């Protein structure tokens, strides 16, 4: 994971009210943990991407019941896609 990726993800968390400190910390922690699991060969990149895709599917399913606006849902899905793209950079060269 690059610092540029982290900056992109942090920027995506900013809302009209300002950045969400809890969300930023949680996102950074989880994304870093997933990268560490990949680096330690605990899970594969594909398994990590599948976890993020499942999270996106669940988010879509529960968004309405949570009262998320279409814009908020879109922001969440964009963040998850950004994480997925970041994880795909962990594919070993060879």
The pLDDT value given to residue 20? 82
Q: What is the pLDDT, as a whole number, of residue 83? A: 93
Read off the pLDDT of residues 10-69 as tens digits, 9 standing for 90 and up: 555 555 566 688 888 999 999 999 999 999 999 999 999 999 999 999 999 999 898 999
Q: How confident is the model at residue 90 (pLDDT cuts 50, 70, 90)?
A: confident
Specify the pLDDT at position 2.
55
Q: Which residues 6+ apart lie within 8 Å of 39 measured at CB?
A: 90
* Beta partners for residue 15, in sequence order: 18
Using the predicted structure, report yes or no on whether residue 92 has a pLDDT greater than 80: no
């Amino acid at each position: 994971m690059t610092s540029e990726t982290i900056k992109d993800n942090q920027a995506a968390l900013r809302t009209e009210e300002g950045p969400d400190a809890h969300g930023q910390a949680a996102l950074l922690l989880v994304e870093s943990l997933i990268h560490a699991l990949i680096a330690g060969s605990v899970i594969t990149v594909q398994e990590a991407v599948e976890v993020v895709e499942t999270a996106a599917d669940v988010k879509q399913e529960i968004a309405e019941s949570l009262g998320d606006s279409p814009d908020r849902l879109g922001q969440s899905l964009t963040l998850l896609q950004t994480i997925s793209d970041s994880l795909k950079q962990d594919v070993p060269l060879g």
